[in-house]
Amino acid sequence: MNIAALHTLYTSGASTPEATIAAIYDRINAEGLRPTWIALVPREQALARAKSLSTEEAKTLPLYGIPFAVKDNIDVAGIPTTAACPDYAYTPTDSATVVQKLEAAGAILIGKTNMDQFATGLVGTRSPYGICSSVFSKTHISGGSSAGSAVAVANGTVIFSLGTDTAGSGRVPAMFNNLVGLKPTRGVLSTHGVVPACRTLDCVSVFAETSADAATVLAAARGLDEKDPYSRTPRTGEGATPWAGSTIFRFGVPATSSLNFFGDTHNPALYQAAVDHLTVLGGTPVEIDLEPFLETARLLYQGPWVAERYAAIQPFLEDEGSHHAYQMDPTVSKIILGARSYTAIDAFKAAYKLEALRRTTSAVWADIDLLILPTAPRTYTIAEVEADPIALNSTLGTYTNFVNLLDLAAVAVPAGFRPDGLPFGVTLIAPAFTDNALLLAADRLHRAYATTLGNSQRKLTETPALKPTATPPGCLLMAVVGAHLTGQPLNWQLTQRKGRLVRTCRTHPDYKFYALANTTPAKPGLVRVPNFAGPGIEVEVWALPEDTVGSFVAGVPQPLGIGQLRLEDGSLVMGFIAEPAATEGATEITHFGGWRNYLAILK
């Protein structure tokens, strides 16, 4: 069930938060705690929380009565945090910032979910609390490290869950369980109260059945947190996405020769089908060189960043007289203790290499708006992973490990089913702070499949679609009427600034239109005349990144200027206006209704 559907039940009186919570605990009691869950909020405490939301004010909250789960490396007050290592457990007095924000938005926490120990793994098999399998196959892995969080949503126990994502842990389990997995921009969601894996790279992630639900959770949980030194918000224009919601966008596709599915015979065709769907939605595929991204991905586990995993739990590992390392999962212990072989010199050399790769990969974004890749090359069985745990784990991170190193945002989205019934998925990737635009694109792609949700028979088409905002994120709207129109001589001043056409419409009727004298190239001017009832003048409304508007305005010559322009629907946008003096020697062309119509008679 999704957020909107559950709210509809509450509003109609068909259910209540208390009834929802009671049913969840009955189900967990019948099915058993393991392997999905490590610990639950006491039933009576959760029911009391549900009852406390009976006020009219609470019913207006965006997550009113919505049950959720969190990965057990995220603090919840009064419940031990184990990170799937019982010997490491501690009981926090305060919940993590993201948990507090979600509860303030009306959500009800059910419990803490199973995970690969210390968030080290993409498999879901490295936990003393049991092995989570895909909800579609008991013999196939669920993906990790946020294994239980994905399963708890995919099997319909909770509406959404939190995971963490350093190398792909919020994306790989999404693919294996037919979910949307949002890996936000680093720092958008606070990591205060989260046991770190690699503190400089960690993200709190969101699992949900739909992009719309993930967007609602993101809106409720985001925000600058002074307690988290890595928390941040975008600068003006940073992460601007003029293409958000547009039917015209460019997306990166690697050369077929650079894609490796490690012997899988079904996933290549499913990936190509996703590319085809994105093309039908208006995207133009642009071939890119994937190798610099893959080289970056290899740095994560083949470079000194693994030493951050040691630093994260160093006091635990080096507790005098303890044998903690021997009580850890053998594979996790081998990976983390291997960090001791790296030196500060190695760290600096790797940092230099990463900066060079950032420079190389950043050039790609001049040609594309987003990148589409397989979320994972293939789905392994539990037996395959247990036979070769490190190599196969590395394979699973082929298309995920580079994302946080390069400071990118990503959304994993379902992309159909294989002939064997296992789900496939792709990930949409773009620069930092493009989270909302990616969710919008992911929702459009997801709906192209008209698929089911999680491991249920409920249809995605029966859920609300994610709607674009009137103004794309990080942008301002600019209306143009003459030489800046598409195909006209100054249109490059918009496209050079990555402007994107949003719509074509007309001004409010109270504008007169003039062909100005002595301008090169020829330009028109709009003059507002109160109570004038004209035909309205054709305009194009463009979205411009906020940080490019100043340079655009600075280039506008007198007698033209930029001001507030009223459109036919009454809305106001920035746009070209002319000084009244501009009409001297000008020719009124209002009756033509637009610059193109006027130019047509001059030919």
Q: Which two tokens stand for residue 344?
A: 């500060």
Cα separation, 361 vs 378, whole angstroms: 25
Q: Please list the active-site residues.
A: 71, 145, 169
Return the H-helix or E-strand segment holding 294. helix 291-302
Strand partners, 141: 133
Going 403 to 337 to 191 to 85, the CA torsion angle's sign is positive
Phi, psi of 69 (to 5 degrees): -130, 160
Cα separation, 208 vs 183, whole angstroms: 12
* Residues near 304 by beta carbon (within 8 Å), at least 6 away in sequence: 339, 342, 343, 346, 347, 350
C-alpha distance from residue 373 to each of 159, 256, 399 (Å): 26, 11, 7
Cα separation, 370 vs 434, whole angstroms: 9
| HEC per residue, 448-469 | HCCCECCCCCCEHHHCCCCCCC
Cα separation, 437 vs 440, whole angstroms: 5
Phi, psi of 243 (to 5 degrees): -80, -5
β-strands 538-545, 560-566 pairing? unpaired
List for the chain the helix, strand, coil content (%; round to 5). Answer: 35, 20, 40
Query: Each residue of 404-443: b (16+ CB within 10 Å) or e?
Result: bbbebbbbbbbbbbbeeebbbbbbbbbbbbbbbbbbbbbb
Cα separation, 374 vs 181, whole angstroms: 13
CA 88 distance to own-chain centroid: 31
